[in-house]
Structure 1
Amino acid sequence: MANNMKKSDVYAVVDLETTNNQRQVGRIIQIAVVFVRQNEIVNQFSTLVNPGQPIPTEIKKLTHINEKMVQEAPYFEEVAPLLHAMLEDTVIVAHNVNFDWPFLNTEFERVGMAVMENEAVDTVTLSQILWPTLDSYRLSELTKQLGIAHENPHRADSDARATGALLIAAMQKAETLPMMTLQQLEALPLVLPQQTKAIFSLALQENQAHPKPLAEYLMIIDHLALRRFTQPTPINLKSVIPPFPKKEKQKQQLFADQLEYRDNQVKLMNQVYEHYETLEGTDTFVPGEQAMVVEAPTGMGKTLGYLLPLAYLARQHQRQVVISTPTKVLQRQILTTIETTLKDLLPFEVRGVQLKGQDNFLNLQSFRRSLDRDDGSMALQFMKAQVLVWLTETLTGDLDELNLNNVSYEFLQKLTQTANNPQASKFKSFEFNQRQSILAQQATFLVVNHSYLTQALHGAEAFDRRPYLVADEAQHLPEVVLNKSQKHLNLGRWQQQVHQAGILLNNQREPSIQPVMQRLRAEGKLKPKLNADFDTLAQLLQRLQQRLYRHFVMNHHVMATTGQQNFAMQASDLAQFMLDYDADLAQIWKTNQSIQNLLEQMMEQFVTSQERFSIDERQTLADFRHVLMQLNRQAEQFRQFQNNLADYAEVSTFWITESFNNNENTLQLNGGLVETEDYFKQQLYPYFQPPLMVGATLFNSAKSNYLYQGLALNHDTAEVEKFPEVFDYQNQAELVMLTDAPVPTKAEYADYLQQQLLQLLVTIPRNTLVLFTSADLMQRVFTWFQQQSAYRNSPMTILAQGISGTRTKLVKRLQKESNLMIFGLLSFWEGVDLPGNQVEMVVLTRLPFEQPQTLATYNASQPGGVGNEHDFYQKQLPKAILRLRQGVGRLIRSKTDRGMIIILDSRIVHKQYGKAMQKMLPDALPKLELKTADLPAQVQNFFEKQTD
């Protein structure tokens, strides 16, 4: 259908509520239409509709429309003529137009009326492009984020009015985009539902008819409209900094009306300041000595507790502060605290910046190149449209700001890779990763995650003076180091990459690097050398795989046709293997170096060439360069194995994975640290002041050697502070442990778990968080619930992580909705803040012991591995205690919260280690041991008391 849309058209915004999403069997139970013209709502129509069939329970829950409400309503046959006439000559608009519009046409056809062929617009995809950084595009969430009134979500009349207001906002937003951006959107081979893309054409026509000057905050570089970046003015470090306010009166003056005075928070501030002020003037520190370790419970205000004194110390001694957290979410929270609270408190200026790796940032040259290529993917073109709008708004270029869907990791890699000739790029001085470095130079606080700390900031000679180091939720740091230390070298993939490089070099058809080689006049010189190196490397890798198989796999081999098998290797045996075949291994490295040198020569010729290369040629060259860089990374990975054997053999473990697929088997060499002491003492601590380790759940026992060993800290020289709980657990919460629950490893446990969750669901319809440790068990229980009539007839809705949405989406629903039971996996056991009635019950399905996933875990302590008692008490149990404390901590998040914790694992009662786990939970938390039959009455009694 040709696009004939005009700005002056009447837009009919339609919303339907139906008995079923399948239009062949579903019927309409409510329909509403809002008419929009010239960006104003000019009329509206709404009616309930008798569907002539029962309304399913889930639809009643969602819409709050029942059979009684529609009993006297007209049938669709009665409404259809008027509706058909009203929609004539309008542009149909809906939030998911490919549902509402075909459904409505199916109903017209069913009652014998002509199918309508109006042009149509979808506000979902329109919103995703125009507001690419919003968290959610569900209508109820979208309207809240944009400040649009929406009184009754999932009722057609309210949804239609909200969608009408959304359409107006979208058309106005489109018209504010710079002409260059609209031209790029128009040029994209963008496939959107129905005629949605026409909205951008209308905005461009308006812009061309009434040109507006480019906004001052924007600039145009190589046909891209970008948000202008201004370098920050330096902080005046010569200004006089007042003394740190140690006394209560001084603190109260500083806090004024902006911050509540809390004794323990103030105590923490003073302790942090005094600890590091005492260390000033000391020239050398022994790594791991004189650290500060602080366990501060939720609700105490630990973040400001360390930020404020460190701000004074940083300015007084002209040092930066590096704050490391487990997640990017916590990074943002800490940065928000700096920007919104700390800055207002201090009598001097401080700045914070969030640091991330280069792979997080859009490369403008790579993106500009991608605009001129039709990648043959609707999802990629859609993302390009989002980025074009985002570039007019973002100052960071951090891809995490975008709400991206259906975009491959490989494509994102292309958008973050540097240009072939960055020095000649028109974006040379404007790339986003450079902005991060500029901001970091002027920042007081550098907020990173543990992964970035252990990869990008370890061995940080770049700092002028050793910064202060804070590890927030420090208990995760050893685990991150161990995970990051693990190397996985897939020899089959390495060989495939060599093969792929050869195809790009020699292929006569696209994609091929041959046209570029010919124009660089390199075909006769570089190409033969590259081919020779590829052949040599392929032979060496094939031989290496065969020898590894004979030495470490063949004698232990079990016949298999699919899946994987793991084979342990003693470090001494692998070291001897490396020694025996040293000549071949050295030749692998030498050949790789030759390939990288040839690539460098090719790139030098490309940079100095006077030829004009097409976009496709430049992209093919970038792809070829990327493959050769992957070869180099594989070679570097292999060299790292050799280095670990030389430097960390005693604290490393190695194993081979044999994979079977399609009658082929490939080998993967694996290895990594099993202890972190050497890493921390050699790679991290020497470059910082003695670390400040903080967290809400650091200790797993009174002595807690697990923490000190994992972080390589000297307990004798560390300043340790454990702050008491701030919540009144005696009156706010109750913990119930069931004494007769079957052990989770028993076959009957799944049935038991299902029945107990169903009983809780029908007894107390309150927001409940159910914590699982097994995705398989969670999915089994979730599937079982869908078949239960007791659940379908209840007011509760069950959602499961990874099935109903991501953790982020499920948390948002808990924050805004009631009568939810959420099934969550290990990522839900911590870092989730749901105060008040957002969560009133937490159910722990089993004690959170980790299940060994790789041979590295089995070999973690010594041959014989995970099954021995030493490993259990020194490694598994401490981890489980910390996670149990975190899971229990999901319930009470503020002084007004009330709720119950239920543990459906009787080992907490009957096992000796279960008693040890109980001891590490809050002392004041009432702990009840009950039989399963008594649980419903106890739950009901608890919540009845809370409402008295």
Structure 2
Amino acid sequence: MNNRYVVIDVETTGNAPAKGDRIIQIGAVVVENHEIVQRFSSFVNPEVAIPPFIEQLTGIDDSMVQDAPLFEEVAPTLLTMLEGAYFVAHNVLFDLNFLQEEFQRCGYATFQGPLLDTVELARLLFLQADGYQLNQLADYLGIVHENPHQADSDAEVTAHLLISLIQKLVTLPLVTLQRLQPFLTKMQSSLEEIVSDIMAEKAKTHHEERGFDYYRNVALKAYEPLQRIEEDDEPVPPHQDVLQAYATNMAYYEKRSAQEEMMDLVSEAMNDHRHAIIEAGTGVGKSLGYLIPALLYGKKEGRPIIVSTHTIQLQQQLLERDIPLLHEMMPFDFHATVLKGRNHYLCLRKFEQSLDDRSDDNYDTNLTKAQLLIWLTETEQGDVEELSLSSGGKIFWHQVKSDANSCLNHRCPWFSRCFYHRKRREAQVSDIVITNHALLFTDVKNDAQLLPAYKEVIIDEAHHVEEVVSDHFGVQTDYFQFARLLERLGLDPENGLLEKLYSLLEDVDVPEVLPLLEKLCKELPALKMEIDDLFRSLRSYVIAKNKGTMNDFGRLSYRPQASDLASTHWQAIVEMGQRVRFASKDSNTLLKKVTKALQDREEHMNTYQQGVVTDFEGVRAKLEEEYKGLFYLLHIEHEDEVTWIEVEAKGAKNAVYLFSKPISIHDLLADEYFAKKNSVILTSATLSIKSSFQYVMERLGLLDFGPITAGLPSPFNYKEQVKFMVPTDVPLINQVDQGAFIRDIAEKLHQIAHVTKGRMLVLFTSNDMLRQTYQRFKERTGNDEFVLFAQGVDSGSRARLTKNFKKFEQAILFGTSSFWEGIDIPGDDLSCLVIVRLPFTPPDSPITAARGEKLRQEGGNPFMELALPQAIIRFKQGFGRLVRSKRDRGVVFVLDRRIIDTRYGSAFIQSLPAVPLQKEKLPVLLDDLKTWLAHK
């Protein structure tokens, strides 16, 4: 490998060289044979003033470039360095375009050599990086980045990044590099010659690299199947003995009385075949509190224990933090595995098929295929959560993910290596199976066909159970489901599965299929038009009904046979739905005939052709399922369900979503779940209302089972660690317009932030209010005063926004929905939590409205028995974001006076840990807070 690479970074006065923006600094680093052999850097006099925001970003001001050389003076040096070399940069077109513009301006020839973009290469090769900005990749690889946004430092870091990228390429198996070649030509980076050189070197050795499983011309990471652990005759000790032995051997073990009490409760519930509801406050250590006694009980009984969580984050925490600790503590060996829904896993058969499919030849698809080829050399899980896919990559994932409808099972050549079936086999020999609520209740709906047979289960984050069960026993569909499936089929013989079937018929003699395909090619576009018309009409109907009240999206609850829908518009929708029904039946009949004829001839097909037929049947079955759902939602009355439509005001003309959910799930859970299990342990930090578990028992159908209940308080000293403040000078939102309320909130947030020096999480209940407050706050404050992050405004996942928030001292994070729970920001990174409004579910939520109406009909009080308990549990979740360890200290502000001005407000306060409430005008509270923080 003797290629020469010149890594260049430029700092500039702006982003548009064609509009007069100029270079102010250049850094260049030459790499040969994986080593840096030359460096060059210089300020450049741009002959224009440097804008203030560029000065702030780079630290380069006019005085630093005043006596610097002009670009024409450094151009010869750069051109000499670049001769015969690769031009490398992080986001290569930005730096290249500036240099090309300057070369032309000064009368030099432009650079014509090959390019390498380290952003693109990192996306290809470092699939598990948190992000692809230069500082993020530097952190990921442990590269010191001394002066970000200075050209010399950025070029140096990019050079080290390039070396790591090329070294990663060199480690790839020869067969992977061979498979990569067709996709490299579609990339911006000129990798073909580099990869050819690596392949030539590898070919000389004539041996396969170790650590890989080579199969069907694909390299996978070698994998040792999990074997069931042979039972021994040693008696299983009680959890008290296990803890005592561990505490004796480990000097750093911290005894927690609430955790030990939780172990006693879990052990009692399982041994007595009882259900239990255990609220464990932050810091109790509930994960080990249930894992230790559950594992010991499961080992004693010879049965697996299922642990279900709501979030992937908690699954990972259990697997990466708690299970290793459990292995240290236990006197015996055991297996634990994570099992997710099959859509999380790559289908190797579909992926192999896609490698030779050139019908979808766009950049994102080619990049994603290349990424997955490399990922297969690294992954044992095959789980999409390991990847950072682009939006286009996520679309491609839908084509290659595992699903029940298109699985060949034992007939599949990849069956023994299938990631999903591998995880299911691991689960069958595991003592602990960690899954999620979605799969847990999908298993219930599917008559226990997915998880190993079990009698005991721990449901962590149990406050989500009602909504998950409601989702899984409801029906929903949307326009995009139909569009994606019809696109997958192909609406003409030039694309999709129809095109593949035409090709298949050239090799396999099934004469009766050809006229069926030709008929389908005529009928499918007509069906698509009917579906388009139906969903467009649904959207216009909802918008008309929501006239004057719609913001980002509109909702409309309805009952299919209700008399209030007897309008001309709705009747037209019903007729359109019937036309879709009849057209879909006709097309489905044709699709079934095609499948049947082809399946009868499968013995004459190769594996690829069998896969095409299976995929075709899978899409047909899924389409039929969606048609049935659409008919159910539009035409069938649902006595105990709520049905509604949602539309996006600014979305596509047919962006429509239809839902139906059961109004209550307590009878279903009682009969189909709790009655069939020996012991279900429900746990969370937020299950009680004013120390009572009545609400959760009623909602989940546990009243008749007499479950064990317990509230285990947090060990933290909230009186010393937390200030709880409610400003009395905040306006009530129903007494002023929203604009005035937002102006006041933004001003108060600004005052609070000055005292706490940022480090603030602000929780909203409305996306619209979040955006408006964020914008108002931004206008109110200087650019360099605070670093602001906002959910839905800044791109990135919750995890990424949280990670970026932690990097800056004076940072403020505006969050809604998912930020009320599940994020962990211990220490000084977060010292102020602001709850803007009490988290009542919006009154236009169809499921909440329907549940409230049902309660009213039964003589109950919807506000006191439903809306208030839901809001209190949500409030407790939000409050719990502040104190995550014994060392944390901070303030919680609630900017909603209802918590002190209404009779029900006390219920929120009484559900919190014992912490004094201070209510004064904001200036008085801030004076007290300054004193308290000063003594920190």
TM-score range normalised by the length of the shorter chain: 0.7 to 0.9
1:317 is the counterpart of 2:308 = no
Q: Which one is further off, 876-885 or 25-34?
A: 25-34
2:426 maps to 1:439 = yes
Give the 3-state SS of the residue equivalent to 2:733 in structure 1: coil
After superposition, residues 613-692 of structure 1 pair within 5 angstroms as 621=613, 624-637=616-629, 651-655=640-644, 670-692=659-681
Tell me, yes or no, if structure 1 residue 299 matches structure 2 residue 288.
no
Q: Aligned residues, how many?
A: 910
Q: Structure 1 residues 910 and 390, CA, compared in 2 at 3 Å: closer, same or farther?
A: same
1:4 maps to which residue?
none
In the TM superposition, residue 387 of structure 1 has moved relative to its aligned partner by: 0.5
Give the CA deviation at 1:393.
1.0
Deviation at 1:53, TM superposition (A): 5.3
Pair 1:9-2:3 in alignment: yes
User: Residue 252 of structure 1 contacts residue 261 of structure 1 at CA under 8 Å; is this kept in 2?
Assistant: no
After TM superposition, give the deviation of residue 793 of structure 1 in Å.
4.1
Q: What's the CA shift for 1:268? A: 1.7
CA distance in 1, matches of 2:929, 2:80: 57
Paired position in structure 2 for 1:376? 361
The alpha-carbon deviation at position 41 of structure 1 amounts to 1.5
Contact 1:461 1:687 in 2 (8 A): no
Instruction: Give the equivalent residue in structure 1 for 2:935.
Output: 945
Q: Relative to 1, partners in 2 of residues 1:255 and 1:316: Cα closer, same or farther, differing over 3 Å?
A: farther
Worse overlay, 57-66 or 835-844: 57-66
| Bigger shift: residues 62-71 or 827-836 | 62-71
Residues in 1 aligned to 2:810 and 2:655: alpha-carbon distance in whole angstroms: 50
Deviations 1:505-559 (A, max 9, x none): 89999747455457655453795599699989999x989x99xx99xx99x9899
Deviation at 1:780, TM superposition (A): 2.2
Paired with 1:542 and 1:91, the residues of 2 have a C-alpha distance of 54
Q: In the alignment, residue 392 of structure 1 is paired with which amino acid? A: T
Report the equivalent of 1:308.
292
Q: Distance in 1 between matches of 2:595 and 2:262?
A: 54
**Match of residue 261 from structure 2:** 267
Q: Does 1:452 align with 2:436?
A: no
Matched, 1:714 2:714: no
2:732 to 743, 749, 765: 743
* Aligned with residue 340 of structure 2, among 350, 353, 356: 356
| Cα offset, 1:169, TM superposition | 1.3
| Aligned position for 2:763 | 771
Q: Quick one: distance in 2 between partners of 1:425 and 1:496?
A: 25
8 Å CA contact 1:858–1:864 kept in 2: the answer is no
Q: What is aligned with 1:407?
A: 392
Residues 765 and 59 of structure 1: is their aligned pair in 2 closer, same or farther, counting only changes over 3 Å? farther
Equivalent position SS for 1:92: strand
Asked if residue 838 in structure 1 is aligned to residue 829 in structure 2, the reply is yes
Separation in 2 of the partners of 1:34 and 1:491?
52
Alignment-derived partner of residue 394 in structure 1: 379
**Aligned: 1:800 with 2:790:** yes
SS at structure 2 position matched to 1:447? strand
Tell me by how many angstroms 1:102 deviates.
Answer: 1.9
Q: Comparing 270-279 with 125-134, which one deviates more in the overlay?
A: 270-279
**Does the Cα contact within 8 Å between 1:595 and 1:628 map onto a contact in 2?**
no
- Structure 1 position 623, deviation (Å): 6.0
Q: Relative to structure 2, which stretch is displaced further, 84-93 or 426-435?
A: 84-93
Q: Is the 8 A contact 1:50 1:76 kept in 2?
A: yes
Match of residue 97, structure 1, among 92, 99, 105 = 92
8 A contact 1:522–1:602 mirrored in 2 = yes
Q: Which moved more, 1:133-142 or 1:498-507?
A: 498-507
Q: Structure 2: how far apart are the matches of 1:105 and 1:718?
A: 74
SS of alignment partner, residue 912 of structure 1:
coil
State the partner residue of 1:122.
117
Could you tell me the percent identity over the aligned residues?
A: 29
Q: Distance in 2 between matches of 1:663 and 1:730?
A: 52
Are 2:789 and 2:805, in contact at CA under 8 Å, matched by a contact in 1? no
Gap change, CA 1:153 and 1:533, over 3 Å in 2 = closer
Q: Which amino acid aligns with 2:865?
A: Q
For 1:689 and 1:127, locate their aligned partners in 2 and report how far apart those are by CA, in whole Å.
50
Amino acid in structure 2 at the alignment position of 1:454: F
How far does the alpha carbon of each residue in 1:544-600 deviate from its partner, in whole angstroms, 9 at most, with x for none?
x99xx99xx99x9899999867352288999xxxxx99x999999997985675355
1:670–1:42 distance in 2 versus 1, CA, 3 Å: closer
Cα shift readout 1:730-776 (whole Å, capped 9, x = no counterpart): 22221221112122353311111222223334444332211122212
Separation in 2 of the partners of 1:116 and 1:536?
51
1:34 to 29, 43, 52: 29
Structure 1 unaligned spans of 5+:
1-6, 280-289, 575-579
Question: For the structure 1 residues 247 and 595, does the alpha-carbon distance in structure 2 shift closer, same or farther, using more than 3 Å as the test?
Answer: same
Partner of 2:271: 277
Which string of whole-angstrom CA distances, capped at 9 and with x for unpartnered residues, describes residues 270-303 of structure 1? Answer: 2222332233xxxxxxxxxx31111111122110
Deviations 1:128-163 (A, max 9, x none): 211212222222222222232333433333322222
When residues 159 and 558 of structure 1 are mapped into structure 2, their CA distance, relative to the original with a 3 A threshold, is closer
CA contact (8 A) 2:489 2:498 kept: no
C-alpha separation between the residues in 2 aligned to 1:636 and 1:391?
37
Cα distance change on mapping 1:250 and 1:660 into 2, 3 Å: closer
Residue by residue, what CA displacement relative to the aligned partner does 1:204-242 show, whole Å, maximum 9, x if unpaired? 23323x436323321221111111222122212234144
The alpha-carbon deviation at position 637 of structure 1 amounts to: 3.2
Structure 1 residue 566 and structure 2 residue 556: aligned? yes
Two-structure CA RMSD over aligned residues (Å):
4.3
**Which has the higher mean CA deviation after the structures are superposed, 829-838 or 241-250?**
241-250
Residue 267 of structure 1 and its aligned partner are, at CA, apart by: 2.1
Specify whether residues 378 and 261 from structure 1 end up closer, same or farther in structure 2 by C-alpha distance, changes over 3 A only.
same
Cα pair 2:260 2:289 within 8 Å, conserved = yes
Alpha-carbon contact 1:291-1:718 (below 8 Å) kept: yes
Give ranges in structure 2 of 5+ residues lacking alignment: 565-573
The code of the aligned residue for 2:200 comes to Q
Superposed displacement of residue 47, structure 1: 3.8
Q: How high is the TM-score relative to the length of structure 2?
A: 0.86
1:18 is aligned with what amino acid?
Answer: T
Q: Alpha-carbon deviation of 1:385?
A: 0.8
Determine if the alignment matches structure 1 residue 476 to structure 2 residue 470. Answer: no
Structure 2 residue identity aligned to 1:379: D
Given the alignment of the two structures, is residue 143 of structure 1 paired with residue 133 of structure 2, yes or no? no
- Secondary structure of the equivalent of 2:307? strand
Deviation of 1:310 after TM superposition, in Å, equals 1.0
Q: Are the structure 2 counterparts of residues 756 and 914 from structure 1 closer, same or farther at C-alpha, using a change threshold of 3 Å?
A: same
Equivalent residues of 2:602, 2:610 under 8 A apart:
no
Question: Do structure 1's residue 106 and structure 2's residue 106 form an aligned pair?
Answer: no
Structure 2 CA distance for aligned equivalents of residues 77 and 526 of structure 1: 68
CA 1:59–1:770 in 2, change beyond 3 Å: closer, same or farther? farther
1:416 is matched with 401
Confirm or deny: 8 A CA contact 2:269 2:275 kept in the other structure: no
2:842 aligns to what? 851
Equivalent residue, structure 2, for 1:757 = 749
Greater Cα offset, 195-204 or 826-835: 195-204
Please state how far the C-alpha of 1:445 moved relative to its aligned partner: 1.0
Partner SS state of residue 435, structure 2: strand
Per-residue deviation, residues 675-708 of structure 1 (Å, max 9, x unmatched): 1112212332244322101111111233342211
Per the alignment, residue 366 of structure 1 pairs with 350
* CA 496–251 in structure 1, closer or farther in 2 if over 3 Å, else same: closer
Return 707-716 or 164-173, whichever deviates more.
Answer: 707-716
Q: CA deviation at 1:601?
A: 1.6
Is the partner of 2:673 in helix, strand or coil? Answer: helix
| Greater mean alpha carbon deviation, residues 798-807 or residues 179-188 | 798-807
Quote the offset at 1:67 in angstroms. 5.3
Aligned to 1:932: 922
1:243 matches 2:276: no
Distance 1:619 1:29, change over 3 A: farther
Once the two structures are superposed, what CA deviation does each residue of 1:845-875 show, in whole Å capped at 9, x if it has no partner? 2211222455343323327989x99222222
TM-score, length-normalised on structure 1? 0.85
Contact 2:368/2:396 (8 A) holds in 1: no
Q: Structure 1 CA distance, aligned partners of 2:115 and 2:479?
A: 52
